[in-house]
Amino acid sequence: MPDERQVADDELQPAPVIAPGYTFGTVTDQISSVVLTRRTPVFWMACFGVGFALLLLFLWAVALLFLKGTGIWGIRMPVAWGFAITNFVWWIGIGHAGTLISAILLLLNQRWRNSINRFAEAMTLFAVACAGMFPLLHLGRPWLFYWLFPYPNTMGVQPQFRSPLVWDVFAVSTYATVSAMFWFVGLLPDLATLRDRARNRVARGLYGIFAMGWRGSARHWTNYETASLLLAGLATPLVLSVHTVVSFDFTIAIVPGWHSTFFPPYFVAGAIYSGFAMVLVLAIPLRWVYGLEGLITDKHLDNSAKVMLATGLIVAYAYILEGFTAWYSGNVYEAAAIWHRMTGPYASVYWSLVTCNIVAPQFLWIKRVRGNPILLFIFSIIVLVGMWLERYVIIVTSLAQDFVPSSWGLFHATRWDWATYVGTIGLFLFLFFLFIRLLPMISIFEVRTLLPQAKVEEEPQG
C-alpha cells in the first residue's frame, strides 16, 4: 500500500511541463525529425489537401469579386458590413492568443509556454493574414488599397487620420509586421539547428540562408535574450491596442448596440478566448499525430483550458453588462437594440451564441473535462463558433435595426459570403500545414532550457 504521505506529495506536486527522460539530443531530434524526414504523414496530406481545396475556392470567390464587385455578397444598405467585417474581427481575435502566449507569458516568466509558443505565433501570423483579406476585399476596389496609406500623390488628398478605420490600417499592419519579426527572431536559433542537421543540400542551403550564420555564441545569446524581452515588451501593449482599435471601429460610431465604452476590454477578452480555443484545436491533433505528448503535455492543455474559462467568464460578464447598461441608461434606442437581439429576427443567432460562449464553457470547471483532449477539442470548436456568432450579432443586428424603422433591413448571406469565409479557413490551413512541414513547430532551443540538465550547477564558493 502506498505511503499516505507519498500520495499526498504526489498530488501536491505540479504535473511536469515536459515529460521526464528527455535530453538535449532527443528533444532536438524529435522536433526536427518532423521537418527533416522524407515521409509525410497521411494526416498532413489530408489537412493540407483540405486547406488547398478551400484555398482554391477562396481564389474563385475573390476572382469573381474582382470581376463583379461586392454585390456578390449579401451586403445591402443598411447592413454594409456583413460577413466581411465579422470575419475580420474573428480572425484577428484568434491571432491574439499567439501573441499573448509568446509575449505576455514570456514577460510573466510562465515557462510552460516554451513548447507551444512557436506554433501559436505561426497561428497569429496566418490568422492576421486571413483577417487582412477582408477589409481589403471589402474596399470595393481592392487594387487601390494603397490609398489607405499617407503618401505623396498627384490627387493631393490624404487619409483622414481622425477616422478609426484609418487607425485600423496602422494597427493591423503594425501588428502583422511585428508578429512576423518576432516569429522570425524566435526561429533564428532553430533554423541554425536545421541547417546543421539537414542532410539534403538544398534544404541545408535554404535553412542556412535564413539562419544568417547564427552560431549560438555567448555574444549572440546576450543580445538575443535582450531582444526577445524587448520585443515581448513591445508586443504586449501592441496586442492589447490592436483589438482595442478594432473595437473603436464600432464604439466610436453612434449606432445603438455599438456606442459603448466597455467594448475595448470586452473585445480583447473575447479575442484571447477564441485564440486559446484555436490553440487547442491545433495542438490536440498535432501532438497526437506527431507523438509530441511528452512536449505538449496535458499540463499545457489544462492551462489553456483555464485561460479559456477565465476569459469566457469576462465575456459572459460583458454580455450581462450590455443588457444592464441598455436598461439602466434609459435610452430607448439602446434598449430596443438589445431587445431586438434577444427577440428579433436574429434571436436564434443570439441564443446560440449565449449557449456556445457562456453555457458550454462552464463544463471546463470540471477537471476531468480539462484532462480529456477529445472533449477539450469539441469545446474549443464550440467556442470558436460562439465567438464568430458574437461578432456576427454585434455587427449585423446593430446595423439591421437602428433608429428609424423605415430604414431597417435584414442581412442575408449569399453563397459567396460563405465561400470567402470558408476560403480563408482554407488559406489558414494551407499556410499552417506548410509551416508544420517546413519549420519546427515547437521552439527547440526554448524546450532545451526547460530540461533539468540545462541548469548550471554552481559549486559552493569557498
Partner 1 sequence: MRPPIYGVMAEFDNPTALVNAAREARARGYRKLDAYSPFPIEELAEALHLPKSKLPIIVLIGGILGGLTGYLMQYYVTVIYFPINIAGRPLHSWPMYIVITFELTILFAAISAVLGLLALCGLPMPYHPAFNVPRFAHASRNRFFLCIEATDPLFERRATEEFLERLEAREVCEVAH
d(CA 41, CA 43): 5
Shortest distance in whole angstroms from residue 149 CB to partner 1:
11
Choices 133-141, 224-232, 278-286, 348-356; region in contact with partner 1 by CB under 8 A:
224-232
**Interface segment toward partner 1; rule CB under 8 A; list 20-28, 51-59, 253-261, 387-395:** 20-28
Q: Does 221 bind partner 1 (CB under 8 A)?
A: yes
When binding is defined by CB under 8 A, the residue of 200, 226, 261, 343 that contacts partner 1 is 226
Cell output for 96: 491574439
Q: Which of 96, 113, 138, 195 binds partner 1 (CB under 8 A)?
A: 195
Tell whether residue 112 is a contact of partner 1 (CB under 8 A).
no
> Is 21 among the residues that bind partner 1 (CB under 8 A)?
no
Please report how close the Cβ of residue 106 comes to partner 1 at its closest, in angstroms: 13
**Which cell numbers in the block locate residue 239?**
496586442
Residue 449 is a binding residue for partner 1 (CB under 8 A): yes
Q: Would you say 61 and 423 are in contact if contact means Cβ atoms under 8 Å apart?
A: yes
CB of 450 to partner 1, least distance (A): 10
We find the least distance from the C-beta atom of residue 174 to partner 1, in angstroms, to be: 4
x/- mask, partner 1, residues 49-88, rule CB under 8 A, reads ----------------------------------------
Q: Is 218 in the site for partner 1 (CB under 8 A)?
A: yes
How far apart, in whole angstroms, are the C-alpha atoms of residue 426 and residue 130? 9
CB 150, CB 132: distance < 8 Å: no
Among 33, 40, 177, 200, contact with partner 1 (rule: CB under 8 A): 177
Q: Is the distance from CB of 178 to CB of 155 less than 8 angstroms?
A: no
Instruction: Verify binding: residue 324, partner 1, rule CB under 8 A.
Output: no
CB-wise, 40 or 449, nearer to partner 1? 449
Give yes or no for residue 304 binding partner 1 (CB under 8 A): no
Q: Interface with partner 1 includes 259 (CB under 8 A)?
A: no
220 binds partner 1 (CB under 8 A): yes
CB of 96 or CB of 340, closer to partner 1? 96
- Give the H or E element holding residue 449: helix 444-450
Q: Please give the single-letter amino acid code of residue 187.
A: L
Give the residue, chosen from 22, 83, 182, 430, that forms a contact with partner 1 under the rule CB under 8 A.
182
For helices 82-99 and 117-138, the axis angle rounded to 10 degrees is 160
Cβ neighbours of residue 35 closer than 8 Å, sequence gap 6 or more: 194, 437, 438, 439, 440
DSSP 341-396: HHHSTTHHHHHHHHIIIIIGGGGGGSHHHHT-HHHHHHHHHHHHHHHHHHHHIIII
Residue type, 339: W
- By the rule CB under 8 A, 455 interacts with partner 1: yes
322/318 Cα distance (integer angstroms): 6
* 109, 219, 452, 460: residue in contact with partner 1 (rule CB under 8 A): 219
Joined together, the cell numbers standing for residue 205 give 542551403
The single-letter DSSP state of residue 458 is P
Which range of residues in 257-265, 337-345, 371-379, 452-460 is near partner 1 by CB under 8 A?
452-460
Using the contact rule CB under 8 A, the part of the chain among 62-70, 80-88, 220-228, 416-424 near partner 1 is 220-228
The answer to whether residue 25 forms part of the interface with partner 1 (CB under 8 A) is yes
Is residue 215 within the footprint of partner 1 (CB under 8 A)? Answer: yes
205 binds partner 1 (CB under 8 A): no
292-to-42, 252, 440, 451 alpha-carbon distances in Å: 17, 46, 12, 16
CA dist., res. 303 & res. 104, Å (int):
15
Round to whole Å and give the CA distance between 106 and 155: 46
Binding segment toward partner 1, per CB under 8 A, in 132-140, 188-196, 257-265, 292-300: 188-196
Residues near 29 by Cβ (< 8 Å), separated by ≥ 6?
Answer: none
Q: Report helix, strand or coil for 55.
A: helix
Which residue is it, cell 539534403? 200
Residue from 80, 136, 206, 234 binding partner 1 (CB under 8 A): 234
Find the binder of partner 1 among 109, 160, 406, 461 (CB under 8 A).
160
Q: Is residue 28 within the footprint of partner 1 (CB under 8 A)?
A: yes
Question: If binding means CB under 8 A, how many residues of this protein chain bind partner 1?
Answer: 66
CA angle centred on 458, ends 456 and 462, rounded to 5°:
165
Q: What distance in Å separates the CA atoms of residue 130 and residue 51, rounded to the nearest whole number?
A: 13
Q: Kindly list the residues in this chain that would bind partner 1 in the complex (CB under 8 A).
A: 23-25, 28, 150, 156-162, 164, 166-167, 170-171, 174, 177-178, 181-182, 184-185, 189, 192-193, 195-197, 212-227, 230-231, 234-235, 237-238, 241, 245, 248, 445-446, 448-449, 453-459
